[in-house]
């Protein structure tokens, strides 16, 4: 049962970062076993159980339970492929990955962070469940559903406790300034949308619209539509699209985003095993077809971001400023497995419209601008400054 969702995988830096990001080229499928195992496969499984039964009988120590040992066997088998993007994701992180790519999750609508003293501080979003239930900015979270928060617990772990299925309830125990006793606040979790795009007029150059795209979710293209509408109404004449640190997301969204800036042509070419080339064409209806455009890129620009950047660079529609991109150009198929875990399998490579390979090489910016430690210390962004100068001085996009 194919769900017909194409997505793009992110840079594999660490498993948690990986599952929260995305990257280059997926189809999501329900997992159904259609084929009977071969004799060789049955013999291999027999050997596996021969080994594991010996371990269960003789191992001096704690033997992991069935799911853990099964997951370990799967990961070990996949490791023999020597492909970092063909991997197995267990049910809980698989759920996080799915929510990230959908751009929404079940939550309470509040920012959670630790202060210098290590306390967990809440900041409710306007008109979201947390605020409606009575949570106030500055409330200190001390327990979730009666579970006290240990000082060594990470912010990510606290967030996991608060998030949950839409429609379920969570009880937050908070300490409020001026109130002697703690307060228990019951909140019903609701769909919380996570924006992937932010935009504004640049104060130092009001004719330039700045759009930061942090990922490619199901909602990204609609967010861009709103950005163009609002920025155009404010008299914007050119754009800076910031994709630095954008590890990817949905492939279909990447095609939509690139199509916002192109009238026609090919967005990318995909070479799949036993199928030959598949071409993704520009889709009609772009909102920014003529305005001068700069893309900001760096080593964290990967996968779906490189699809957009590669297409716009090949057509000389945009000037890339910054640093060389990551170089993730393989395509994965995602299977939804029977226990809600996920399997990612590399099935193809993708190429830019001019047939340039990205995998392992990345994209070179048209104008290289590095950020030094001194720049960071001084809170300076020379890449953005160069982009503003480039657009303000009316330089050619083919430079």
Q: Exactly one of 242, 314, 359, 366 is catalytic; which is it?
A: 314
Q: Where are the alpha helices (DSSP H) in 59-177?
A: 66-79, 91-102, 129-133, 155-162
Q: Exactly one of 303, 305, 330, 341 is catalytic; which is it?
A: 303
Burial of 78 (0-12, 13-18, 19+ CB in 10 A): middle
Integer angstrom CA distances of residue 312 from 46, 125, 147, 180, 298: 53, 36, 50, 59, 16
Q: How many helices (H) and strands (E) does the chain have?
A: 11, 20
Known active-site residue 349: no
Instruction: Let me know: does 294 contact 319? Beta carbons within 8 Å.
Output: yes
* Secondary structure string (H, E, C) spanning 177-202: CCCCCCEEEEEECEEEECCCEEEEEE
Distance CA 259, CA 308 (A): 9
Distance CA 381, CA 106 (A): 35
In order, the DSSP letters of 371-391 are --HHHHHTT--HHHHHHHHHH
Dihedral sign for Cα 201, 202, 206, 212, please.
Answer: negative
H or E element: which one contains 257? helix 251-259
Known active-site residue 328: yes
Dihedral sign for Cα 74, 76, 79, 84, please.
Answer: positive
H or E element: which one contains 296? strand 293-297
Q: Exactly one of 6, 95, 98, 328 is catalytic; which is it?
A: 328
Known active-site residue 303: yes
Q: Where are the alpha helices (DSSP H) in 108-154?
A: 129-133
> What's the CA dihedral at 345, 346, 347, 350 to 10 degrees?
150
- Catalytic residue ranges: 303, 314, 328
């Amino acid at each position: 049962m194919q769900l017909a969702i194409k997505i793009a995988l992110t840079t594999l830096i660490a498993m948690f970062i990986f599952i929260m990001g995305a990257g280059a080229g997926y189809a999501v499928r329900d997992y159904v076993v259609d084929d009977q195992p071969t004799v060789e496969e049955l013999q291999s499984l027999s050997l596996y159980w021969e080994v594991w039964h010996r371990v269960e009988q003789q191992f001096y120590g704690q033997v992991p339970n069935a799911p853990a040992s099964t997951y370990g066997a799967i990961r070990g088998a996949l490791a023999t492929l020597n492909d970092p993007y063909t991997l197995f994701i267990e049910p809980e992180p698989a759920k996080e990955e799915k929510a990230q790519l959908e751009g929404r999750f079940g939550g309470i609508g509040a920012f959670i962070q630790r202060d210098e003293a290590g306390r967990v501080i809440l900041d409710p979003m306007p008109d979201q469940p947390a605020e409606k239930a009575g949570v106030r900015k500055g409330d200190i979270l001390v327990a979730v559903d009666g579970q006290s928060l240990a000082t060594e617990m990470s912010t990510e772990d606290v967030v996991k406790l608060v998030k949950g299925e839409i429609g379920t309830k969570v009880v937050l125990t908070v300490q409020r300034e001026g109130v002697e006793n703690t307060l228990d606040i019951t909140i019903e979790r609701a769909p919380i949308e996570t924006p992937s795009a932010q935009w504004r007029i640049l104060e130092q150059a009001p004719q330039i619209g700045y759009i930061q795209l942090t990922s490619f979710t199901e909602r990204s293209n609609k967010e861009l539509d709103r950005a163009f509408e609002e920025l155009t109404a404010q008299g914007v004449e050119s754009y800076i699209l910031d994709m630095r640190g954008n590890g990817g997301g949905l492939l279909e969204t990447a095609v939509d985003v690139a199509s916002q800036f192109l009238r026609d042509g090919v967005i990318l070419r995909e070479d799949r095993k036993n199928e030959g080339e598949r071409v993704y064409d520009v889709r009609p209806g772009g909102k920014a077809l003529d305005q001068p455009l700069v893309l900001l890129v760096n080593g964290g620009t990967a996968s779906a971001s490189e699809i957009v950047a590669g297409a716009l660079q090949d057509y000389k529609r945009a000037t890339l400023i910054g640093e060389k991109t990551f170089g993730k150009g393989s395509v994965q198929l995602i299977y939804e497995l029977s226990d809600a875990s996920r399997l990612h399998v590399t099935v193809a490579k993708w190429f830019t419209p001019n047939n340039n390979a990205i995998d392992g090489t990345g994209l070179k910016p048209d104008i290289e601008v590095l950020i030094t430690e001194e720049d960071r210390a001084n809170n300076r962004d020379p890449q953005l400054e160069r982009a503003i100068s480039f657009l303000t001085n009316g330089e050619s996009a083919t430079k």
